Amino acid sequence: MASGTSAGREPYDEEAASRRPLELGVRDSAPASASDHRSGNIVPRYQVGCTKADTSKRYLEGWHKKQSSTDDVRKSKSGYFTAFGVDLSPDNMAVAIVYFVQGVLGLARLAVSFYLKDDLHLDPAETAVISGFSSLPWLIKPIYGFISDSIPLYGYRRRSYLILSGFLGTLSWSLMATVVNSKYGAGFSILLGSLSVAFSDVVVDSMVVERARGESQSTSGSLQSLCWGSSAFGGIVSAYFSGSLVDAYGVRFVFGITAFLPLMTSAVAVLVNEHRLTPGEHAMSVSGSGFIESSIQHIKQLWTSVKQPNIFLPTLFIFLWQATPHSESAMFFFIVSRACKTRYFHCILARCRNL
């Protein structure tokens, strides 16, 4: 019997054995039955109970394990802390600190209002005019982008302009803290400080766009969250200390403190990861024809983007919104006058009670 069974079997074929798992994957792989043994089609032990779904499941589990191990290695190699889902590398830290400086510069906003009202004795109309002039640098921000992209300073398009913006802001607030004694000097200094913030904002925005290009939507959104979170934190700090510092030390002291804040922008500019241009590239960039050609090309690209309805209509709405007059100066004078009247009334009542 045994000899008959062995005689009925086919000789072992390696090719057939290698193809047999694929054939079994297509068919329903039920456990080997007695009929299989009787017919001589013996299923190998490793193939019993193996289905196509099981094979695919094991393959996917192995792929996920490999992918997770790769991600863990990548995270361990970075070695940076994360905030808002973004690695706090030196480059990203520089971007976050620049945005923080933009927010914390609001420390001098209340001091400027009191300086124009109490020291220079300006009325609400003159205060509104000076505030309007201070917003002019923000209206021509595309020009700063053309300049930084077309005219690199000392071989850098980002670092050098951040350093220059920081020094410009320090100069403006230093003038406000020391030598400014007229409305024209105050208007010029405030305009200079606004220019420094607007220029640094354009440069750091271009850095954020370069880092977000090619990244996923979640990564670019996390980077934006880091930027706006840093700016909001700076605004909270300035809002907490601005009033108490003005009340305790005066407006000149607040201007002096504010003069040191833009230096943070100049200091972190060295952390920006930027390739320095070679002398040949630098000469080609600063040449007159190269600057004109690049500016024309940038203007064409800007117009191509702006004339699209999904960009033009929101831009028109923002323009009309910002063009409408606001009551900031009038509201400030109203609140201060009401507070002075209330304080004067309480002083009269206190004197009457002492009589």
190: confidence class by pLDDT, cuts 50, 70, 90? very high
Residue type, 255: F
6: confidence class by pLDDT, cuts 50, 70, 90? very low
Instruction: For each of the domains in the chain, give its residue range(s) and CATH number, in order of start.
Output: 12-79 (no CATH), 84-281+328-345 (1.20.1250.20)
Q: How large is the average pLDDT for residues 2-7?
A: 44
3-class SS string, the chain: CHHHHHHHCCCCCHHHHHHHHHHHHHCCCCCCCHHHHHHCCCCCHHHCCCCHHHHHHHHHHHHHHHHHHHHHHHHHHHCCCEECCEECCHHHHHHHHHHHHHHHHHHHHHHHHHHHHHHCCCCHHHHHHHHHHHCHHHHHHHHHHHHHHHCCECCECCHHHHHHHHHHHHHHHHHHHHCCCCHHHHHHHHHHHHHHHHHHHHHHHHHHHHHHCCCCHHHHHHHHHHHHHHHHHHHHHHHHHHHHHHHHHCHHHHHHHHHHCHHHHHHHHHHCCCCCCCHHHHHHHHCHHHHHHHHHHHHHHHHHHHCCHHHHHHHHHHHHHHHCCCCHHHHHHHHHHHHHHHHHHHHHHHHHHHC
Model confidence over 38-76: pLDDT tens digits?
A: 444 444 444 444 444 455 555 555 555 544 444 433 443
Output the average pLDDT for the chain: 74
Q: What is the pLDDT of residue 289?
A: 55
Q: What is the pLDDT of residue 132?
A: 82
Chain mean position to CA 227: 4
Q: What is the pLDDT of residue 271?
A: 86
Model confidence over 87-118: pLDDT tens digits?
A: 777 888 888 899 999 999 989 988 998 898 88
140: confidence class by pLDDT, cuts 50, 70, 90? confident
Q: What is the pLDDT of residue 225?
A: 83
pLDDT tops 60 at residue 120: yes
Q: How large is the average pLDDT for residues 248-258?
A: 93
CA distance linking residue 105 with residue 255, whole number of Å: 10
210: confidence class by pLDDT, cuts 50, 70, 90? confident
Phi, psi of 99 (to 5 degrees): -65, -35
14: confidence class by pLDDT, cuts 50, 70, 90? low
Q: What is the pLDDT of residue 60?
A: 53
Q: How many other CB atoms are found less than 10 A from the CB of residue 56?
A: 11
Question: Maximum distance among all alpha carbons in the chain?
Answer: 133
Q: Which of 32-46, 94-108, 145-159, 340-354 has the lowest mean pLDDT?
A: 32-46
8: confidence class by pLDDT, cuts 50, 70, 90? very low
Q: What is the pLDDT of residue 43?
A: 45
Q: What is the pTM of this model?
A: 0.67
Q: What is the pLDDT of residue 348?
A: 58
Query: What dihedral do alpha carbons 310, 314, 316, 320 form, nearest 10°?
Result: 170
290: confidence class by pLDDT, cuts 50, 70, 90? low
Q: What is the pLDDT of residue 62?
A: 56
Q: What is the pLDDT of residue 214?
A: 65
Sorted by sequence, the CB contacts under 8 Å of residue 70 that are 6+ apart come out as none
Cα–Cα nearest to 161, from 269, 261, 298: 269
pLDDT tops 80 at residue 15: no
